[in-house]
A = this chain, B = another copy of it.
């Protein structure tokens, strides 16, 4: 089965307001709903999971009932753990509790605050994850990337042609990701905040899907202004 996993665990402190950024309005609907609808449209996804901070579970249920009532039965809300990977692990446990353990379960994980994911990205993730087990959606680095050890001077400038910016979706064979996550020590869990990084650390090949410069992550008030401009153009 194919599961979409919308990562909406952010508590939103960086935006300064009270509402986490995934609940702020974008073209008249909350960002998380805007994002969720992209996955609902796909047609190749069986069930939908939303990883969320317990404090916002009730609001999320209300938003689903208000905006996408016809799909509500297929949308499952799971309360998050202490960090992104812990939240993802809670979702994995919920999926296995609901639909059983299988080597043929795949999860397409996506940031709730990246509302401009396209059908092409979602479909490429689904195709590639069935072949390779782990997929990261990336764009070639637009700016030159520099490395600084001390934050004050340039330490190195890696070859730009090899550098990519990682976005989401990130997709995984569910069993593979679970086994890999469970193999981590507590120290490793504290450091490996990105699921693709877990795979790379364990020498599991991660295949690249094609992202887009428009697939921005809304993390600051300025991003929301930019997102509004993109949404109105779309």
Knowing A143-B166, A145-B141 are in contact, say whether A214-B207 is a contact too (CB < 8 A).
Answer: no
Within 8 A of B (CB), among A136-175: 136, 138, 141-149, 151-158, 162-167
A147 near B158 with CB under 8 A, answer yes
Distance in angstroms from A157 CB to nearest chain B CB is 5
B162 near A144 with CB under 8 A, answer no
How many Å lie between the Cα of A233 and that of B154 in the bound state? 33
Closest B residue to A219 using CB positions = B142
How many Å lie between the Cα of A213 and that of B157 in the bound state? 20
Which residues of chain B are near A95, meaning CB under 8 Å?
A: none
B136 near A200 with CB under 8 A, answer no
Copies in the complex: 2
The total of chain A residues at the interface (CB under 8 A) is 47
Which residues of chain B are near A223, meaning CB under 8 Å?
A: 213
Most buried by B among A154, A155, A167, A229: A154
How many Å lie between the Cα of A147 and that of B140 in the bound state? 10
Distance in angstroms from A188 CB to nearest chain B CB is 14
Closest B residue to A144 using CB positions = B166
Knowing A213-B222, A226-B229, A229-B229 are in contact, say whether A208-B153 is a contact too (CB < 8 A).
Answer: yes
Instruction: Report which A residues bind B (CB closer than 8 A).
Output: 136, 138, 141-149, 151-158, 162-167, 194, 196-197, 199-200, 205-208, 213-214, 217, 219-220, 222-223, 225-226, 228-230, 233
6 cross-chain pairs, A with B, having the tightest CB-CB distances, nearest first: A229-B229, A143-B165, A144-B166, A154-B206, A157-B197, A146-B166
Q: What are 9 inter-chain pairs, A to B, with CB distance below 8 A?
A: A143-B217, A144-B196, A154-B200, A156-B200, A157-B166, A157-B197, A222-B233, A226-B229, A229-B229
